[in-house]
Homo-oligomer: A and B are copies of this chain.
Amino acid sequence: MTNSGTIVACCQIALQIGDRAGNRAKIHAAVSRAADGGAQVIVLPELANTGYMFSSPQELHALAEPVDGPTIAGWQQLAEQRKVIIVGGFAENGHDGKIYNSAVIVDETGLRATYRKAHLWDGEKLGLFTAGSDSPPVVDTAVGPIGLVICYDLEFPEWVRHVAEAGAALLCAPVNWPLYPRPAGERPSEIVRAQAAASSNRIFVAIADRAGTERDQAWLGGSVIIDPDGYPTTTLRLDEETIIYATLNLPEATDKSISAGNDVHKDRRPDLYT
């Protein structure tokens, strides 16, 4: 950690479905560039090993890898070489024979956490992925506690609350946000919900989205890094391939107060929420 904070980067990249080696090379290049740029935490999109628009469960099954496969091994190697923390998504061929929409946190010491998306989106449910049922992880890293959820998970305030109450200062979210129409001048509603997730819990949120178009599906390219007040610290560069950076004072997220008498966590009334 530098004196001025922790440098976080989100890699907004285009991927080619089916081209595992090409995707690995693309990620390697993006992570290297982010590390050259000083990043200490580097976030990658959802399903970064495979792409997203599978034409069939068979195609997904053929592309998915175990967590000890070449993609995550490559990220571990990069993390060790560059002394960075990498958070990214991948299609997981589980040792239980099931296919998961998963993500990992790796650092220079190796694999720190694997998480399986609990809230599956649309066609993901139709024979593609098995939903995870474990809580999202919070890993105590060299820069502070990092939490992890995947894409649609982020839209469930209950899930974000769980990660925040478990102590995450920075919540990383690999996503693949489809491009939807929205009113002129308005931010994408996915980003609005992420802003609320940050400020309702006074945590930092770092989101890495996809760029480009894949099998006729255009991606939003909504990568953003949000502060505990709920405001973006980065400029939206919708639909470009880019790396966004922010320098974050992560210990700020341990203070949940918003006025002399208010604290966004202590003010909860959990006895009434049942």
A contact residues vs B (CB 8 Å cutoff): 118-119, 121-123, 125-126, 131, 133, 135, 152, 155-159, 161-162, 182-183, 186, 189, 192-193, 195-197, 199-200, 229-231, 259-262, 264, 267-270, 272-273
Contacts and interface: CB of A to CB of B under 8 A. Distances in A.
A125 B158 contact: no
A158 B158 contact: yes
A122 B268 CA distance: 13
B230 A261 contact: no
Given A121-B262, A158-B270, A192-B196, 4 more contacts: A125-B261, A152-B262, A189-B229, A189-B230
B193 A199 contact: yes
Nearest to A268: B156
Contacts of A161: 157-158
Contacts of A152: 262, 267
Given A118-B272, A158-B273, A199 B192 contact: yes
Contacts of A268: 156, 158
A134 to B, nearest CB: 8
Nearest to A126: B261
A191 to B, nearest CB: 10
A189 B126 contact: no
26 contacts: A121-B262, A122-B262, A125-B261, A126-B261, A133-B269, A135-B272, A152-B262, A155-B200, A156-B267, A156-B268, A156-B269, A157-B157, A157-B200, A158-B161, A158-B268, A159-B269, A159-B273, A182-B229, A186-B231, A189-B230, A189-B231, A192-B192, A192-B196, A192-B199, A193-B196, A195-B196
Contacts of A231: 182-183, 186, 189
A230 B192 contact: yes
Residue among A162, A231, A264 with max Cβ neighbours from chain B (10 Å): A231
A42 to B, nearest CB: 26
A99 B181 CA distance: 47
A267 B119 CA distance: 7
Contacts of A193: 196, 199-200, 230
Contacts of A272: 118, 133, 135, 159
A63 to B, nearest CB: 21
Contacts of A260: 122
A155 B186 CA distance: 21
A147 to B, nearest CB: 15
A196 B161 CA distance: 14
